[in-house]
Amino acid sequence: MLRGLASLLLVVLIASCDGQTISSGYTSTNNGVWHKDSIMQFQFSGVDTIQPYNIFINIRNDQTYPYSNLFLIAELNTPNGDLVRDTLEYEMALPNGEWLGSGNGSLKENKLWYKEKIIFPSSGVYTLKVSHAMRKNGQVEGIADLEGITNVGYQIEKINP
């Protein structure tokens, strides 16, 4: 377990030294269970209002995740009070059940596109909120406790001209 965490930290450190990542972060779920009312919130600032960026939502899942896709609600709040809310669907596994994403062993990390070539309209503190919107087919109520999601994160990368 400790060796796995050390390896994960090393990968994160190497990835963060690429010069393109300007902000990133992760929040852990409650023992690998993401409750439907648990909104993951990230704040960032220091973005250039002329430079285009890509924003990613990063999801870590283990082998207990029971679905091949993932529905998310992402909400980006700007410093001037504007709000952009998106419902997103991502593929997490191939039809044969093989997990997508990177990583060895039981933990996979998926770097999922959220916003491409976005130019932030103003300086200040931005807030990104992410929640899951998973439902079983034919049911109105969402899945209360989504198993198998261990961490939720974000990453903002500078695009070179």
Q: In the prediction, which pLDDT does 7 show?
A: 47
pLDDT tens string 13-54: 444 445 599 999 999 999 999 999 999 999 999 999 999 999
Fold classification of 20-158 is: Jelly Rolls (2.60.120)
**CA–CA gap between residue 23 and residue 62 (Å, rounded):** 25
Using the 8-state DSSP alphabet, how is residue 9 labeled?
H
Which residues on neighbouring strands pair with residue 158, listed in sequence order? 53
- For 104-152, how does the pLDDT look when each residue is reduced to its tens digit (9 = 90+)? 888 999 999 999 999 999 999 999 999 999 998 888 888 999 999 999 9
What's the number of CA atoms in the CB half-sphere (13 Å) around residue 20?
14
Beta carbons of 79 and 122 less than 8 angstroms apart: yes
CB neighbour list of residue 56: distance below 8 Å, 6 or more residues apart: 111, 112, 113, 114, 154, 155, 156, 157
Q: Delimit the domains of the chain by residue range.
A: 20-158
Reported for 84-87, long-range contacts at CB under 8 A and 24+ positions apart, including other chains, are 86/114, 87/133
- Residue-wise pLDDT for 63-117, tens only, equals 999 999 999 999 999 999 999 999 999 999 999 989 999 998 889 999 999 999 9
> Which of the four pLDDT bands, split at 50, 70 and 90, describes residue 56?
very high
What pLDDT, on the 0 to 100 scale, is given for residue 106?
A: 87
- DSSP state letters, 56-78: EEEEEE-TT---SEEEEEEEEE-
